Amino acid sequence: MSDQLLLQMQGIKKSFVGVEVLHGVDLDLRAGEIHAIVGENGAGKSTLMKTLAGVHEPTEGTIRINGEEQTFHHPAAAQAAGVGIVYQEFNLLPDRNVAENVFIGREPRKGPIVDGRKMERDTAALLEEVGESGFGPKTPVRWLSVAQQQVVEIIKARSLNAKILVLDEPTAALAEGEVELLFKLVRRLQELGVGVLYISHRLREVFALSDRITVIKDGGVVKTLDTASTNQRELVNLMVGRELDGYFPEKGAKEDLGEVRLSVKSLTTGLLRDINFDVRAGEIVGLAGLQGSGRTEIARAVFGADPITSGTVEIDGKERRFKHPSQAIKAGLGFITEDRKAEGLALAQSIADNMMLAVRTVMSPRQRRAAKGMMSISELAKVTELRARGPEQEVRFLSGGNQQKVVLSKWLETQPQILIFDEPTRGIDVGAKAGIHDLIRKLAKDGVAVLMISSELPELIGMSDRILVMHEGKLAGELPAGASEPQIMEYATGSHEEVAA
């Protein structure tokens, strides 16, 4: 990292419809620096980065790149000044190859004809610059893993001579094994003198990669620190304005557990082989494993979303065969899916409409009026500590944490006895995570049986009463509460079999 200032953002303010959301933010970035930006959902991180990328124009303040003041009226102007941004949702065409995606809209030409060979040579040079990626210029994008697609987005930015690169939650959709590919790429860019603004809720990544950390809260900078001089506890205090003791709520006692609510016996599908486990009332059972190991497939099969080849699912001791998720909902199951935007919410609809999505599939208006224990929209919002302008606000305008609380509300209204959580806190800040964790533990204390899938091992360890570990479609092992990360990874990678041999 050099002392050369690539970027200076000074006194950045931004208002929408008269409401100020950025309050005089100062931020700078040096050549070859990885500068992490952290804060709760809704703190203003994305708005600040979109201002840098030319998506929004600041209401006040100045942006300087290499000491020269810039005014961006359009993202193309920011790109021309050397700013690249890779969003959580990629902008790639799956049916085109890598080279075509990198140079889309600005293909090199020989007269009126696209010069495909030059495009492929230039793409190959960019891939060589960033190091081993496992694919070439002619590889179709649909064949690539999520991590490799991210590489394509990054070299696309580099093809525009980006010297400032913004990575927005770059590991949110990556499996554990894919994260290292991204880390190597980011460190390689650092060696090339690129300045990286790295937005992440995963504090372990922030400490592993960054040189400095800026904390943003309520649209302003709280503090900028050298990474080596701070720790996670200080960072969390700055982000949320309060202590989060240990991050996880206290676990229940074994003697408080009830009868077996969910029993899966010899479950087999196209991917899964002979899966057996129980979940008791009041118990949180964690489900670990690498991407593709079969974790989500278990949830989908139990919930009636995928067909079962053989085996049984029992609810409260009674065998049930669900041909459709609506049958599972009627039997007392709820399923908080991995991708809340694609599978859990109707983004253009209101909070109130989304909260009623699940219960409307299984109950008529007359049945809902007659049902006991049904909560009102306001009661659901209070229970989940939802922060919103009101029940008519469209869900797409909520932060990630509040969107997840709407999903939870949707299932709470069905009064489930068994809840399956698939990546319950993905893309959510630490403060909102604590609220979700508290709610999951409260549901367990109220007698709900919880099956929780997570790629974040500290979350599994902190929340689970037991941990089941998947490997290549099979249950590789069961570990007690308090198991270590190395123990879980031994089973997840299959290395426990080598030790046993």
Segment 182-203 mean pLDDT: 89
Based on the fold, state whether residues 236 and 108 are members of the same structural domain: yes
Is residue 73, in this structure, part of any structural domain at all? Answer: yes
Which phi and psi (to 5°) does residue 325 adopt?
-55, -30
Q: Which is more confidently placed, 61 or 432?
A: 61
**Residue 337 phi/psi, 5° resolution?**
-75, 165
Give the pLDDT score at 500: 44
Say how far residue 396 (Cα) sits from the centre of its chain. Answer: 16
Q: Are residues 296 and 376 in the same domain?
A: no
440 found inside a domain: no
Most confident of the ranges 164-173, 176-185, 428-437: 164-173
Please state, in angstroms and rounded to a whole number, the distance separating the CA atoms of residues 231 and 367: 53
CA 430 to CA 101: how far, in whole Å? 35
Query: What's 424-478 look like in SS3?
Result: CCCCCCHHHHHHHHHHHHHHHHCCCEEEEECCCHHHHHHHCCEEEEEECCEEEEE
Closest to 78 measured CA to CA, from 193, 165, 186: 165
Last residue of a domain, one of 176, 205, 240: 240
Say yes or no to pLDDT of 173 above 70.
Answer: no
| Co-location of 180 and 220 in the same domain | yes
Do the beta carbons of residue 6 and residue 66 sit within 8 Å? yes
Q: Is 0.85 topped by the overall pTM?
A: no
Give the residue from 370, 391, 415 where a domain finishes. Answer: 415
Instruction: Give all strands (DSSP E) within 269-366, no chain letters.
Output: 275-280, 284-288, 310-315, 318-320, 333-336
List the single range of 29-43, 175-189, 336-350, 461-475 with lowest mean pLDDT: 175-189
Picking from 452, 370, 355, 480, the residue whose alpha carbon sits closest to that of residue 406 is: 355
Q: Which CATH number do you get for residue 484? A: 3.40.50.300
Q: Would you say residue 476 lies in a domain? A: yes
The whole-number pLDDT of residue 499 equals 41
The residue-averaged pLDDT of 268-292 equals 92
- Return phi, psi of residue 489, to 5°: -70, -30
**444-499 confidence digits (pLDDT tens):** 999 999 999 998 888 898 899 999 999 889 999 999 988 888 788 888 877 665 44
The answer to whether residues 80 and 12 belong to one domain is yes
Same domain for 493 and 459: yes
Clarify whether residues 472 and 356 are in a common domain: no
Other residues' Cβ atoms within 10 Å of the Cβ of residue 371: 12
Q: CA dist 482 to 251, 289, 454, 457, 479, Å?
A: 11, 17, 15, 11, 8
Share of the chain above pLDDT 70, in %: 92
* Ordered alpha helix ranges (H), 267-317: 295-302
User: Do 266 and 317 fall within a single domain?
Assistant: yes
Residues 455, 384 share a domain? no
User: What is the SS3 assignment for 258?
Assistant: coil
Name the more confident of 339 and 141.
141
Residue 99, amino acid: A
Confidence at residue 111, expressed as pLDDT on a 0 to 100 scale: 86
Answer yes or no: are the C-beta atoms of 419 and 334 closer than 8 Å.
Answer: yes
353-402: pLDDT as tens digits: 988 888 887 777 676 666 666 677 888 888 777 888 888 899 888 877 78
Point out the least confidently predicted range of 37-51, 203-217, 228-242, 297-311.
228-242
pLDDT of residue 256: 80
Q: What is the 3-state secondary structure (H, E, C) of 122-160?
A: HHHHHHHHHCCCCCCCCCEHHHCCHHHHHHHHHHHHHHC
Give whole-number Cα distances, 396 to 251, 277, 388, 411, in Å.
34, 37, 11, 19
Q: Kindly give the interhelix angle for 176-191 and 116-130, rounded to the nearest 10 degrees.
A: 100
**130 in Cβ contact with 189 (< 8 Å):** yes
Q: Are residues 9 and 64 in the same domain?
A: yes
376 token code pair? 């009102």
Whether residue 311 is contained in a domain is answered as yes
According to DSSP, the β-strands at 418-422 and 449-453 are parallel
DSSP per-residue codes, 183-216: HHHHHHHHHTT-EEEEE-S-HHHHHHH-SEEEEE
Asked if 97 and 227 sit in the same domain, the reply is: yes
Contact between residue 293 and residue 492 where contact means Cβ atoms under 8 Å apart: yes
Shared domain for 116 and 181, answered yes or no, is yes
Q: How far is CA 319 from CA 103, 316, 415, in A?
A: 55, 8, 20
In tens, the pLDDT along 83-109 reads 999 887 778 898 999 999 999 888 888
Per-residue CA distances from 488 to 204, 285, 290, 477, 494 (Å): 18, 14, 10, 9, 10
Residue ending a domain, among 213, 240, 267, is 240
The one-letter amino acid at 451: L
- The verdict on residue 27 lying in a domain is yes
Query: What is the arithmetic mean of pLDDT over 272-292?
Result: 92
Residue whose entry in the numeric block shows the structure tokens 């100045």: 62
- What average pLDDT does range 340-358 have in this prediction? 86
Unique residue bearing structure tokens 């979109």:
50
Separation CA 398–CA 350 (nearest Å): 10
Tokens (6 digits) for 58: 């600041």
Q: In the prediction, which pLDDT does 383 show?
A: 79
Would residue 32 count as lying in a domain? Answer: yes
Our count of domains for the chain comes to: 3
More confident residue, 311 or 456: 311
Map residue 179 onto helix, strand or coil. helix
pLDDT of residue 41: 66
* Whole-number average pLDDT of the chain: 87
Which has more pLDDT, 424 or 307?
307
Distance, CA of 73 to CA of 57 (rounded, Å): 6
Task: Tell me the residue type at 186.
Answer: V
pLDDT in tens, 212-267: 999 998 889 999 999 999 988 888 778 766 554 556 778 877 778 899 999 999 99
- Residues spanned by the domain of 489: 259-332+417-424+449-501
